[in-house]
Amino acid sequence: MSAEQDLQTRAARGWRLWLVFVLLLVIAGVIVTKMLSLNFQDQAFLQQQGDARVLRNAAIPAHRGVITDRNGQPLSVSAPVSTVWVNPKEFDLNHGSVDRLAALLKSDRPALQKKISRFRSRQFLYLKRQITPALAAQVEQLKIPGLYVDRDYKRFYPAAEVTTHLVGFTNVDGVGQEGLELAYEDWLKGVPGKKLVMRDLLGRTVKHIREVEPMTQGNDLQLSIDLRMQYLAYRELKAAVQAHKADSAAMVVLDALTGEVLAMVNQPSYNPNDRSGLGSDMKSLRNRAVTDVFEPGSTMKPLAVSAALMSGKYTPDSVIDTSPGYIRVKGKTIRDHRNYGELDLSHIITKSSNVGMTKLALSMHEDAVRNVYQNVGLGQVPGTGFPGEQAGVLPYISKKRLIERATLSYGYGLAVTPLQLAQAYMPFASGGVVRPVSLLKLDRPQATTRVMPQQVAEQVLRMMETVTQQGGTGRRAAIDGYRVAGKTGTVHKVGRGGYKDDQYVSVFAGVAPVINPRIIAVVMVDNPKGQEYYGGEVAAPVFSRVVGGALRALNVAPDNWQPAETRMVMQ
């Protein structure tokens, strides 16, 4: 090769080296420039994009308030559970653990795949709600992309069907649907919070960053109910319904000193922890003690006698001739069970004389009886705040409507709930005053309203005591060791064609003990179909067993205790 050619070759090589060097410098400059851009100009954008892929706002579940009885026994609590959900866009339908997931959720692979595929365009889909934490842990171990498990709470009712009509229940989202769960929803519910967490590609939380919104726990609610008495009342009422083949029944027990409801039970009942057996039968959901009305029958006679005493025309010793055992009013015949002859006011109640009551009612001002009924709360909503509580029916009756005035005095032509009837008997236990009834435990007694003189209330209370003694219609309501005052009621049910001859409502309302009354209770049994149907046969024994147990639970001293030797001689 000539010297000239060698020089040209060297020059070409040098030019190419410089070209490569320049290109490397350009590439390095571009890289440096991009790095500077990424670190300064695009840093916020890149950080946002990165956070969007790993940071999530997770809910902080709020604990719903606990419902307890007056002694702190839980009636409704929130138990920890878990919720399984998927992001259909991320979920791997062909993952090897899908079969195991389907088995844990009590499903099958085709059904699970079909469900997720159907909502492939969404980013959220529930698979199973309110599962146990143990089952949730097994689901999490599958580590399927797009599968998530969140913590939640489920309402649990320890007393189950014993308190369900009063407490009610919540839906799957923890929102009150019935009873006090519904009435006090705003008080009980908690407000969920939010927290920022870091999750990996499998959706597992690997780091808690910070709290975004604080969580607020729900408030607790303490009821006036005494769970001991609630269980006792439920057991006895259920046994009575079964024994007498009744359609339904309800019972209310009040504290005579405060107006607090110590027990409120219904039949039939249901288990709020498992409502699958209810189906479409919504009748069992009703709290009949506050929503169902019935004609109270003869349980109104003590109130009507109170009106007679307050009229000034009668005294406890006044005598009414009920012969010949019936009376004609406006072409209608009102009858007693038999001809009782002459009866004083006390024996009108003892024998439950319709004729005697009719003569008393028609001899007074046309509004005398109705005014007493209204003053004790009939025809008005009790005001407990319970959803669906009824006001009942208390009609206005003109002076000329004699038959309606007569029937009103012995409990026909009006309608009450068991709770209203219990409140109506409060004056007899409280010296002539009434106070509001309460389903919540009270710190102090509420204000009272006088509806009759104390003397009248005490006189009628003594008259009512004869009902549970020898010769009275409510002897089976007697309680060993205690003096009991009350009144039976046996009412014909109303059908499409009028009153039915073979269907009844059996009622007993009473107070115990007579000296320093502490308990007021009402038992209502709807349509008993056995051989016994009178209030003194069906409802009175339930009163005796429940109120007797309640008095002992409250350590109320007996007011009619007799030494064992005396009782043996009397027997």
The percent of residues above 70 in pLDDT, for the chain, comes to 87
Out of 425-429, 539-543, 555-559, least confident range = 555-559
Q: How many CB atoms lie within 10 A of CB 293?
A: 17
More confident position, 33 or 497: 497
- Nearest residue to 521 via CA among 228, 233, 224: 233
Locate tokens 């009759």: which residue?
452
pLDDT computed for residue 525 by the predictor = 97
pLDDT of residue 31: 80
Pairwise pLDDT comparison (198 vs 556), residue with the higher score: 556
Give the count of beta carbons closer than 10 Å to the beta carbon of residue 460: 28
Which residue, among 273, 297, 311, has the nearest Cα to 508 in the 3D structure? 297
Three-state secondary structure string covering 300-362? HHHHHHHHHHHCCCCCCCCEEECCCCEEEECCEEEECCCCCCEEEHHHHHHCCCHHHHHHHHH
pLDDT value at residue 196: 62
Omega into 80 within 30° of 0, i.e. cis? no
Q: Which of 2-16, 69-83, 189-203, 504-518 has the highest mean pLDDT?
A: 504-518
Cα–Cα distance, 498 to 514 (Å, whole number): 38
Position 435 scores a pLDDT of 94
Which homologous superfamily does the CATH classification assign to the domain defined by 227-275+288-570? DD-peptidase/beta-lactamase superfamily (3.40.710.10)
Per-residue model confidence (pLDDT) at position 501 = 85
In this predicted model, what pLDDT tens digit does every residue of 264-299 receive, in sequence order? Answer: 999 999 999 988 777 666 778 899 999 999 999 999
The answer to whether 97 is a known catalytic residue is: no
Residue with tokens 């320093």: 516
pLDDT at 514: 96
Report whether pLDDT(50) > 60: no
- Global pTM? 0.82
For the chain, domain boundaries = 57-222, 227-275+288-570
- Quote the CA–CA distance of 266 and 282 in Å, as a whole number: 14
- Tell me the one-letter amino acid at 143: K
Asked if residue 46 has pLDDT above 60, the reply is no
What integer pLDDT is reported at residue 305 of this predicted model? 97
At 161 the pLDDT is 94
User: pLDDT at residue 519 above 90?
Assistant: yes
| Residue 420 and residue 291 in contact, taking contact as beta carbons nearer than 8 Å | no
Higher pLDDT, 95 or 454: 454
Give the best-scoring range by mean pLDDT among 18-27, 40-49, 397-406: 397-406
The per-residue pLDDT for 204 is: 56
* Whole-number Cα distances in Å, 211 to 193, 197, 205, 220, 401: 8, 9, 14, 25, 72
- C-alpha torsion 414→417→419→424, nearest 10: 0
Span 232-237, average pLDDT:
97
**Which of 86-95, 102-111, 204-213, 455-464 has the weakest average pLDDT?**
204-213
Q: Answer yes or no: are the C-beta atoms of 184 and 221 closer than 8 Å.
A: yes
Query: What integer best gives the mean pLDDT of the chain?
Result: 87
**pLDDT confidence tier of residue 399, bands split at 50, 70 and 90:** confident
| Under 8 Å between Cβ of 287 and 179 | yes
Between residues 9 and 471, the one the model is more confident about: 471
State the DSSP code for 298: G
Residue 335 φ/ψ, nearest 5 degrees: -120, 155
257: left (phi over 0), alpha (psi -120 to 50) or beta: alpha
Q: Which fold has domain 57-222?
A: Penicillin-binding protein 2a (Domain 2) (3.90.1310)
Q: Average of pLDDT values for 143-164?
A: 87
**What sign for the dihedral angle of Cα 21, 23, 29, 32?**
negative
pLDDT level of residue 96 (50, 70, 90 thresholds):
confident
Q: How confident is the model at residue 123 (pLDDT cuts 50, 70, 90)?
A: confident
Catalytic residue among 82, 248, 298, 438: 298
State the pLDDT at residue 195.
Answer: 64
> 43-57, 188-202, 219-233: which has the minimum mean pLDDT?
43-57
More confident residue, 78 or 252: 252
Range name among 214-223, 413-422, 438-447 with the lowest pLDDT average: 214-223
Nearest to 302 by CA among 111, 122, 562, 522: 522
The confidence band for 122, taking pLDDT boundaries of 50, 70 and 90, is confident
Beta-sheet pairing, 147-156 with 205-213: unpaired
pLDDT confidence tier of residue 567, bands split at 50, 70 and 90 = very low
Q: Give percent of the chain above pLDDT 90.
A: 61
Runs of H (alpha helix) within 105-170? 109-118, 133-140, 164-167
